[in-house]
Amino acid sequence: MVHRLDPRVKILATLVLSMTILQADPAKAALLSVFLLGGALLSRLSWRDVAAALRPLVFFFCLLFLLHLFFTDGRPLFPALPVVTMEGLSRGLITTWQFMALVVCAALLTMTTTPSELVSGIERLLRPLRAVRISSYDLAIMVSLALRFVPTLLLEFHRLREAQLSRGANFREGTVMERLRKMSSLASVLVIQTFQRADDLVQAMEGRGYERGPRTYLKELKMGTADYTVMITTLGFAAALCTLSI
Amino acid sequence: MIRIKNLEFRYSAEAPPVLQSVDAQIEDGQYAALIGPNGCGKTTLAKHLNGLLIPTSGDVWVDGMNTKDPSSLRDLRRAVGMVFQNPDNQIVGMTVEEDLSFGPGNLRLPAAEIGRRVEEALHTVGIAGYEKRPTHTLSGCEKRLVAIAGVLAMQPRYLVFDEPTSFLDPAGKRRILNVIRKLNESGIAIIHVTHDMDEIIESDRVLVMTEGRISLAGTTGDVLGRVEELKVMGLGPPQVTELMWRLRQSGQDVQETILTIDEAVKEISSLILRKSGPERNSARSGV
C-alpha cells in the first residue's frame, strides 16, 4: 500500500523522518526504529530488501563505530583498556544507528517509488521555486532525461568496449596509468557520441512541441485519504518526538 | 498541403548549398516517397518540413503557414510530425506511456485527454498493452513503433519518416511499412524518406533527389517505369521489383508488394497454377 501513496507524501515523510533521526537520543532512536519497522512492514519489504540496502555500507558502519569507540574522551569502560570509554560506546552506537536509519529511510522511499514518480513528486514540490525564477518543469525534464539515458549510455559503453577488445585492446593489464589512458580513450568516444545523441534528441523534442516552462502530465498527482493519514501520522510522530524529552 | 518553393539551404553563408532550387508539393492525405542516394540532402529537406531548419532562400508553406514565421511554429510542429532514423535518440520517457505523453503534455492537454491519446496511438501502431514497459527493454522494431506512436499522439496531419526501416530485419521492416500504410489510409499524409527502392512501392508519388536537387518527380508508376534514368542516378530497382513490375506491365495479376526472391517464387508459381486451368497457353506466354 505504501507503493500507491502520493510520491510527494513519501518524499516529505522521508525528509521529516531524516531530520528527526539526526536529532535522536537513545530513547527516541528506539521509538523511531519501531516506526521505521512499521513502515517497512506496511511497504511489504522483506528483511532481505532492507539488508540489501545496508550491506554495501557495512564497512562504513563498522569504521564509524570503531572511530567513536576509540577516540572519545571519558570514563574508561575497562580499567585495562583506557582508550575505550563509556561515552565512546554510546556515541558510537547512536551515530551508527543514525546512519543505518537514514539508509533504511531512503531505501523505503526508493524501493516503493519508481524513478518517474520520484521525478514528478519532486517537480510538484519544487513548483514554488518559480518565485526565484527556477522552473521545476525544466528541472524535472533534465532529471528524467538523465535517468532515461543511463541504460542507453551503459549499453553504448559496453559496445564500444567490446569493439576495442575485439581489436586487441586489453583493459585488464598494464599499470594503473596505462589502464586509465585506455579507459579515457573509450570515454572520449562516448562523450562525442553522447553530444551527437543530444543534438538529435533536441530536434526530436522540438519536433514534438517541447518548450521550456509549464506542461501537463498523464498522471496528475492527487492526495487521497491514505496520503493525508500517512502525512499527518508522520508529522505528528516527528513533532511528538521533538517536544518529548525523556 | 505542403508547398516548397525555390528552396535553397546552406549551413553557413560560405558553405556550398546542401539543397538548391527545390520545388515540390505534397497534397493532403498523399503518400509521398523522397528517395535518393546517401548524402543527397533528403534528411535536410525533411527537416525543413516542420521548421527544424529554415530555408536560406525560398519558402516552405504548410497549410498556409510559412515555416519562417516563428508565431506559427507551435501549430506547425503540431501539423507535421517527424519520426527520426534512430529511435534511441527520440524516446524521452522511461516507460512507453510516459514517452507517448510527452508530446500531448507539451501541448498542455488535460490528463484525461493525454491518456486517451496514449491508448489510441498504442492501438494504432499495434502495441496496445505496452504502457508500463520500460523503453530501454524494447526491441529495435518496438522502439520504432513507440517513436511513431509518440509522434502520433500529437495528432499530426503530415508524418515525415526518415529511413524508418534502417537496421531492421525483414519482418520488422514489413511491420513498420504496414503501420505507415495504415496511417496513410487513416488520412494522414506521409513523407517517406528512404534510399531503398523496395520501399517506395506503397507511395502515390515519388520525388527523386540527387545532389541537393529534385531530379525526378511523378507518380510512383511513372518514376518506377523510368528504369533507365533511375539506374543512371544509382537507383536501379532490385531485380525482383523490376521483374514483378514488368509482369504487371504485361498485364499479369501479381502483387506489387513483393520484396524477396522467396516471395516472388511463391507468387509466380501460384500465378502459373491459377492460369494453368482455363488459359494454360496465355499463362505460358505471359511468364
Grid-cell match 529511435, residue found: B87
pLDDT in tens, B45-98: 999 999 999 999 999 999 999 999 999 998 999 999 999 999 999 999 999 999
Give me B287's grid cell: 511468364
State the amino acid at position A181 in one-letter form. R
With vertex at residue B36, the alpha carbon angle to CA B181 and CA B54, rounded to the nearest 5 degrees, is 85
Of B47, B78, B118, the CB nearest to A209: B78
Chain A residue closest to B153 (CA)?
Answer: A208
Q: Are B204 and B32 in contact (CB under 8 A)?
A: yes
What is the distance between the alpha carbons of residues B107 and B118, in angstroms, rounded to a whole number?
14
- What is the 8-class DSSP label of residue A225? H
Pick among B49, B76, B88, B163 to test the A interface (most A CBs inside 10 A): B88
ipTM computed for the complex: 0.81
Residues of A in contact with B151 (CB under 8 A): 207-208
Cβ contact, residue pair A209, B88, below 8 Å: no
CB distance B151–A203 less than 8 Å? no
CA triple B178-B181-B186, angle to 5 deg: 125
Nearest CA among B225, B221, B217 for reference residue B25 = B217
* Chain B interface, best mutation among A200, A218, A220, A221, by max B CB count within 10 A: A218
Mean local confidence (pLDDT), B33-56: 93
Neighbours of A46 (CB within 10 A): 11
CB contact under 8 A, A201 and B118: no
Per-residue confidence (pLDDT) for residue A45, from 0 to 100: 87
Contacts of B89 (CB under 8 A, 6+ apart): A197, A200, A201, A204
Residue A26, pLDDT score: 87
CB A26 within 8 A of CB A107: no
Which of A113, A201, A216, A217 would best serve as a mutation to test chain B binding (most B beta carbons within 10 A)?
A: A216
A213 CA: distance to closest CA in chain B (Å): 9
Residue B158, strand partner residues: B80, B189
pLDDT (tens, 9 = 90+) of chain A, 246 residues, equals 788 899 999 999 999 999 999 988 888 999 999 999 999 998 888 889 889 999 999 999 999 999 998 888 888 888 888 888 888 999 999 999 999 999 999 999 999 998 889 999 999 999 999 899 889 999 999 999 999 999 999 999 999 989 888 888 777 777 888 888 888 888 898 999 999 999 999 999 999 999 888 899 998 888 999 999 999 999 999 999 888 765
DSSP chain B: -EEEEEEEE-SSSSSPPSEEEEEEEE-TT-EEEEE--TTSSHHHHHHHTTTSS--SEEEEEETTEETT-GGGHHHHHHHEEEE-S-GGGT---SBHHHHHTHHHHHTT--HHHHHHHHHHHHHHHT-TT-TTSBGGGS-HHHHHHHHHHHHHTT--SEEEEESTTTT--HHHHHHHHHHHHHHHHTT-EEEEEES-GGGGTT-SEEEEEETTEEEEEEEHHHHHH-HHHHHHTT-PPPHHHHHHHHHHHTT----S---SHHHHHHHHHHHHHHHHTTTHHHHHHH-
Residue B286 in this model has a pLDDT that exceeds 70: no
C-beta atoms of A216 and B78 within 8 A: no
Residue of B53, B75, B94 to mutate when probing chain A, most A C-beta within 10 A:
B94
Q: Is A152 in Cβ contact with B88 (below 8 Å)?
A: yes
Distance CA B68, CA B84 (A): 22
Measured CA distances, A197 to A116, A153, B85 (Å): 22, 10, 12
Q: Report yes or no: A26 and A94 within 8 Å, Cβ to Cβ.
A: yes
Does B97 contact chain A (CB < 8 Å)?
A: yes
CA atoms of B152 and B125, how far apart (whole Å): 9
- Starting from the edge strand earliest in sequence, which strands make up the sheet with B158-162, in order? B80-83, B158-162, B189-194, B31-35, B205-210, B213-219
A215 contacts B108 by C-beta, under 8 angstroms: yes
Please determine, for residue B280, whether its predicted confidence score (pLDDT) is greater than 60.
no
Average pLDDT over residues B211-232: 84
To the nearest whole number, what is the mean pLDDT of chain B?
89
pLDDT at A76: 83
Q: How far apart are CA A214 and CA A123, in angstroms?
A: 11
Q: Whose grid coordinates read 491519446?
A: B117
8 Å CB contact between A140 and A212: no
B185 to each of B182, B188, B204, how far by Cα in Å? 5, 7, 12
DSSP 8-class letter at A126: T
Number of CB atoms found within 10 A of residue A64's CB:
17
What pLDDT sits at residue B241? Answer: 72
Query: Nearest-CA neighbor of B189 among B39, B16, B24, B72?
Result: B24
Q: Which of B9, B1, B63 is nearest to B32 (CA)?
A: B1
Smallest Cβ–Cβ distance between A215 and the set B50, B88, B105 belongs to B105
List the grid coordinates of B168: 531492421
Question: Considering only CA atoms, which of B49, B88, B155 is closest in space to residue A201?
Answer: B88
B105 at interface of A, judged by CB pairs closer than 8 A? yes
Strands B19-26 vs B31-35: parallel, antiparallel or unpaired: unpaired
Segment 17-76 of chain B within 8 Å of chain A by CB? 47, 50, 52, 74
Q: How far is A114 from chain B (nearest CA, A)?
A: 10
Of B20, B63, B10, the C-alpha closest to B210 is B20
On whether the CB atoms of residues A43 and A3 are closer than 8 A, the answer is yes
CA–CA dist B280, B271 (Å, integer): 11
A114 contacts in chain B (CB < 8 Å): 94
Rounded-to-integer distance, Cα A109 and Cα A102, Å: 11
Q: Is this model's pTM higher than 0.90 or not?
A: no
- pLDDT bracket for residue B287 (50, 70, 90): very low
pLDDT at position B107 is: 92
- DSSP state at residue A23: T
Backbone angles phi, psi at B82, to 5 degrees: -130, 120
Answer left, alpha or beta for residue A245, where phi above 0 means left and psi between -120 and 50 means alpha.
beta
Q: How many CB atoms lie within 10 A of CB B287?
A: 14
* pLDDT at residue B281 is higher than 70: no
Instruction: Give me the amino acid identity at B155.
Output: Q
Contact residues on chain B for A115, CB-CB shorter than 8 A = 94
